[in-house]
Amino acid sequence: MAEPKNGKTQGAENERVRTGLSEESIRLAFLDNLFYVQGRFLEVASLNDKYKALAYTIRDRLLHRWVNTTRTYQQVNPRTVCYFSAEYLPGPFMGNNLLNLGIAENTRSALAGLGIDLDELLEHEEEPGLGNGGLGRLAACFMDSLATLQIPATSYGIRYEFGIFNQEIRHGEQVETTDNWLRYGNPWEVRRPNIAYEVKLGGHTEQYQDDAGRLRVRWIPSETFQGIAIDTPILGHGVNTVNLLRLWTAEASEGFDFHAFNRGDYYGAVTREVRSETISKVLYPNDEPDIGKRLRLLQQHFFVTCSLQDMIRIHRSTGQPLERFHEKFSVQLNDTHPAIAVAELMRLLVDKNFMDWDTAWHVTRQTFAYTNHTLLPEALEKWSIPLFQSLLPRHLEIIYEINIRHLDEVRVRYPFDTGHVERLSIIDESGPRYVRMAHLACVGSFAINGVAELHSRLLKETVLRDFHDLWPHKFQNKTNGVTPRRFIMLSNPGLAQLLTETIGTDWENDLSKLRALEQYADDPVFQERWREIKRERKIALASRIQRRCGVTVDPTSLYDVQAKRIHEYKRQHLNVLHIVTLYNRIKCNPAIEMTPRTFIFGGKAAPGYFMAKLMIRLINAVGAA
């Protein structure tokens, strides 16, 4: 291409290629990224080269909007939602970003002109190993929704090097293999080595007096490492707002011990780096052994302290005093995994920034809100006191102080009632002593919610009843929803097209608009199109099952699908018993009239969960019978 003489013309051309949305701009940008980023030309490019070239092409358009969004936030300085979650389950990024940018068809046409099938590239993308189940998917749906509603938000978590595991079924049993989802790299993320924070571990505390004679506490850790920020842009649907998913990866403060190497200790020279990087290696390490429990708690502290230090840095850049921190940020704790944030924010405010306790506690309680995910008392997270003491000694002291002041308040409300004191205490002393993380989250938050109206009501009546009696004003409901973009528009484009043709496009951002379909419930033309789209999807699933499992499925049968984590309380066992019951009915009465059904199970069992893995064996045994 001849180079234009006019500099403005050149700049406009570059802008068109780098961020344009037309078919031609996308084609030129794709070829540009293939050549200059991947170092390949079309004739020799692998499937992965083509995938990454397209991913970078899309990412350029995201970053353009991201920079503009950040500029706007800096000028306006709005209050920001910060979502703390140990896991995210966003699904593959490419299809969702194409959809939200509104360039899916232009991209398909641009690639087709080069002899490339977009669907093949979409199929090639690895599932990000950042989450496991419903909790992670809830976090991802919130990210999508916040960006679409143009609410300033940053989501914080851990950038796991390996996902929970890949599942194989051998002889009817689950076998876990490594989920190396990053083996080809991740083109959607941007590493920020200049955004790094110290993470302390173990050691002891000591008291001292500051210059004003006030008693202070200093944490002397036995080990320190650092968390490095890795950012992923999250684009809203049909808007230019891009929010941020900031994940932390662990590294040694000093990676390579040169002196140890010179002494001939070649393994010792890298030991510290290997030990530090273990923290962000694996999503949900097996916590059956004590070392697994220790790693789980360390992971939680790791991403929480990095996130809060990052937020304090951002707040300081606004020029506002730290006493107004809660006016700048509102933090949603996704379950109890990030509940240690209550103690960590107090530590940062009191120990590091020398704020008085009462002011720091006011700021803390006005910063956090807590989402509960379970009604099972035995599933509420708790950590043994010896483990907590060995790993986070200063946090344990802070939790003790919070608990003392909290129980004084309880005793005023319920004088001479030891039952309420015991049940509301952050420390469980009914046997071996534990820190109850749900209690810490309730005490340190301004709001508490479940994930559905029924769930929120049952929380008040069961596991958190005493907290509701104490602070009824804290309890709210936040109904868990899923994004219609991924779960309708992306997964079923035929249905999305039918909905748009029938009732317009408003439903994409407001599912209440789907009530407009009611007037078409008896329309034979609409009914037939709906059935045809459903048949196409069932045939597509049957084809995938045949390719992946070698099992032939009748698309005209009723699909009975249960896809969720394998667990005793999630009722896969009841579902299997239902299958056995139906089978016995057919055996007893071969002439019985029954709708043909295909039962489909999907889900993983935790590696150390014996009963759940036994359930997988049962499902496969029934399927093979």
Given a cut of 60, is residue 312 above it in pLDDT? Answer: yes
Distance, in Å, from the CA atom of 468 to the CA atom of 449, rounded to the nearest integer, reads 11
Neighbour count for residue 13 (Cβ, 10 Å):
17
Average pLDDT over residues 244-264: 73
Q: What is the reported pLDDT for 113?
A: 96
Q: What is the reported pLDDT for 279?
A: 87
Axis crossing angle, helix 104-112 with helix 23-36, rounded to the nearest 10:
60
Given a cut of 70, is residue 262 above it in pLDDT? Answer: no
Q: Is 277:250 a contact under the CB 8 Å cutoff?
A: yes
Q: What is the reported pLDDT for 256?
A: 47
Is residue 551 helix, strand or coil? coil
Given a cut of 70, is residue 273 above it in pLDDT? Answer: no
Q: Is 320:380 a contact under the CB 8 Å cutoff?
A: no
Given a cut of 60, is residue 271 above it in pLDDT? Answer: no
Q: Indicate the pLDDT class of residue 253, thresholds 50, 70 and 90.
A: confident
Of 216, 186, 188, 218, the C-alpha closest to 204 is 218
Q: Is 445:365 a contact under the CB 8 Å cutoff?
A: yes
pLDDT per residue over 19-67, tens digit each?
Answer: 899 999 999 999 999 999 999 999 999 999 999 999 999 999 999 999 9
Q: What is the pTM of this model?
A: 0.92
pLDDT per residue over 575-587, tens digit each?
Answer: 999 999 999 999 9
Q: What is the reported pLDDT for 266?
A: 43
Q: Which residue has the higher pLDDT, 288 or 119?
A: 119
Percent of the chain with pLDDT over 70: 93
pLDDT per residue over 72-115, tens digit each?
Answer: 998 999 999 999 999 999 999 999 999 999 999 999 999 999 99
pLDDT per residue over 333-392, tens digit each?
Answer: 999 999 999 999 999 999 999 999 999 999 999 999 999 999 988 889 999 999 999 999
For the chain, give the mean pLDDT: 92
Is residue 116 helix, strand or coil? coil
Conformation bin of residue 571: beta by default, left when phi > 0, alpha when psi is -120 to 50: left
Cα–Cα distances in angstroms (integers) from residue 582 to residues 563, 587, 589, 592, 596, in the given order: 20, 9, 11, 10, 11
Q: Indicate the pLDDT class of residue 277, thresholds 50, 70 and 90.
A: confident
pLDDT per residue over 512-544, tens digit each?
Answer: 999 999 999 999 999 999 999 999 999 999 999
Least confident residue range of 2-16, 207-221, 314-328, 354-368: 2-16
Average pLDDT over residues 139-155: 96
